[in-house]
A and B are shown apart, each in its own frame.
Chain A
Amino acid sequence: MSKPSVAVVGAAGFVGQSVAAEFSTHGWRVFAVTPRSRSFLLSRLDVEVLDPADVSASTGFDLVVNLAYPNRGLAHHHRARNREIVSLLRRLLKPGGRLLHTSTLAVFGVELERPVQAALPPATRADAYVESKSEMEHMLARAFEEDGSLEIVRLGNVWGPGSALWTGGMLQRLFNGSPVRVAGQDGWSNVTDVANVASYLRFLAEQDAGPRLRFHHLAEHSHHRWSEFLDPLTELAGIEPVSVGSLPGRPAGMGAEIRAAMRSAFSPKEAGKGVWFAKTLGSCARSALRCLPPRLERRLLDRVKASFKRSGASLKLTTEDAGFLRIMTCPREFAPLVVPGWQPARSFPESISAAAGWARHVGFC
């Protein structure tokens, strides 16, 4: 009996490799959709590589798992990149086929400031990453509303061995002396272990397809606070974590953002930074840039970048620090919404243990 096939788009990434390996070791024939120039990243896996350039309308899979998203290039180009991904997915999927798309809890805001719901997120101006992920959900819903089934699996913060953003990222911040917590504010972690992401997607694939559009929220360790992850890492690293007393609030709404930028008016460079990284104003700036002819866009961006470099960063916390700490102090839990019958492959203690073992092996302690 021939193996069932699945196309995994974005298989060369951190989560993608786990997903590809999960399907492969459980009897699936896995086609890793990734440029051939990156196929060497999959050398340890039993997968067949399919370059996106070779995908035509006749390629046709019954099941496609999408992990790809725009993670390179300028933020205001991400909409075009999303369209390319949707176009690829349409070519990959047979009529009536099934698409499992991984999205993120951040479609409801980095701090879950918008109500979490099992529905498409409201279209709104937001941080670049949030906008890009939300737009993708809407694009896919429109693209596949007539044919096939679309399951959107929103992932919590993906933790585990090899996680450059969370496990490795936290350990790196400890070593760098960057702040990792805000005093008195221990946020909901909303974590999902990478092994559980792979396990859930495979479980889902092996169930019958659900309604034409269905949502899943995967954060099986969401109820654990960040300190339960950070404390073991701190002990492992033997480094005293750096805390900040408080986190500056973000201006809420365009009016507040403009007032905040105007307070920086004595330093036009700081004002520019304030606009670019603001939620609403930054989104408007990106929309404006998309309308410019390429040459003018390039000239403007070079000037902006040069001014950022000269500014000498008078912020006490870097933008990166502030973004990280906002997630560390998340005041809301991203409660799991999963199909019945699935059990996490890795429990919380196992997840901490696996992460610690990896950290030791790769030199963090």
Chain B
Amino acid sequence: MRQIGIVGCGAVVDYFYAKILPSLASVRVAGVCDRSPERAAAAAALLGTDVQDFQQLAAAVDLLIIATPPRSHFQLAQEAMGLGADVFVEKPFVTSRQEAEALCTLAERAGRRILVGQFRRYFPHLNKARDFLATGLLGRVTGLEMFEGGRFAWEAQTDYVWKDPLGGVLFDTGAHTLDMALYACALDSPECSLASIAGVIRDKAEPAHEVDARFTLRGGDSSPIDCRLFLSRLQMLANRVRITCERGTLEFGVLQGDPVRVRAGDGALTISERNPALNNLAPFQQQLEQAVHGEPAGRLSGRRFISQIGILEAIYSHQHVEA
């Protein structure tokens, strides 16, 4: 029986963990922890477990899930691994490339696993897009355009989305959108790096609720990839990723069940039809099962997210123009 614990009992516990954990085989929730005694008690009741303090919990479990606001991820993950737990950090992994590399190195030295929760990697249509791009039929990737936006409706349990500088749309939503693009193009390795930033437009200083960044990446073969990352909590955007290649484009929606379309020359092809019957619980569960029982492909391994965090950090730090 694998023992897991959760630190940070916000909305993700109500909407996801409480629905999934009871049905996971060979898993026991050993305890929960939160700065707010009320939230911790509510989560404990929901999950049929006890409230514990952080050190007690980390020392007792096989896997500790960290679902706190991102500012605390580095310190909690570091401490948890020191107490003997493998760690599963909800996105965004951390908030700087340096922190990401440090945690991965620590994990390797301590013989621990450090995993990142990015459940969209388990969307069937995203994996179809990735598989199609891997065939090489469209040629090398030359451009990435990523759009995700809609009027904010998530029931945040804390005020970090509008008060904490790290709570803006860039890390909150951008961690998802950028990761989908990098994963689809197999650019989610530390070798993918940010070459330059052409400009960043925000609605206001961080936490910004709308960010439009243009930048250039260098892939593993050092070829330049022109990128645009446009995120918003204020208005609807196209909610898709468009990957431009030498011989055509591939587009996919960012939501579960969205279609995947390919265009080349005068032709267009749908390689994955829209499936509105799918929901987010299935990929979340698949991710959690792999995190708990081990996932051989390393899809969630911390090292796969170093470049993502480096890009987000650079955009975050870049001087902006206000919209």
Contact = CB atoms under 8 A, between A and B. Distances in A.
A317 B240 CA distance: 24
Contacts of B209: 40-41, 43
Query: What is the interface of chain A mostly: helix, strand, loop, or mixed?
Result: loop
B203 A362 contact: no
Interface residues of A, number: 29
Contact of B237 (A12, A43, A44, A362): A362
Interface residues of B, number: 38
Contacts of B261: 175
A227 interface: no
Contacts of A362: 147, 149, 230, 232, 235-238
A176 B253 CA distance: 9
Interface stretch (A101-109, A144-152, A164-172, A205-213): A164-172
A43 B203 contact: yes
B1 interface: no
A318 to B, nearest CB: 7
A69 B176 CA distance: 31
Contacts of B240: 175, 363
Nearest to B152: A41
B234 A177 contact: no
A203 interface: no
A14 interface: yes
A267 B150 CA distance: 37
A14 B237 CA distance: 13
Contacts of A178: 274
Interface in B180-208: 203-204, 207
A301 interface: no
Given A175-B253, A363-B145, A363-B230, A44 B239 contact: no
B237 A363 contact: yes
A107 to B, nearest CB: 24
A41 B234 contact: yes
B233 interface: yes
Contacts, number: 73
B236 A164 contact: yes
Interface string B236-269: 1111101000000001010000110101000010
A175 B233 CA distance: 22
B277 interface: yes
Contacts of B270: 177
A168 B149 CA distance: 11
B199 to A, nearest CB: 15
B159 interface: yes
Given A172-B239, A363-B238, A318 B259 contact: no
A88 B213 CA distance: 41
B274 A171 contact: no
B323 interface: yes
Interface string A338-365: 0000000000000000000001001110
Nearest to B242: A363
A175 B151 contact: no
Interface of A: 12-14, 37-41, 43-44, 162-164, 168, 171-172, 175-178, 238-239, 312-313, 318, 359, 362-364
30 contacts: A13-B151, A14-B151, A37-B162, A39-B162, A40-B209, A41-B209, A41-B234, A43-B209, A44-B203, A44-B323, A163-B236, A164-B150, A164-B151, A168-B236, A175-B251, A175-B261, A176-B253, A176-B258, A177-B273, A238-B268, A239-B268, A318-B276, A362-B147, A362-B230, A362-B232, A362-B236, A362-B237, A363-B238, A363-B242, A364-B238
Given A40-B162, A175-B240, 12 more contacts: A14-B151, A37-B159, A41-B151, A41-B152, A41-B234, A44-B204, A164-B236, A175-B261, A176-B259, A313-B277, A363-B242, A364-B238
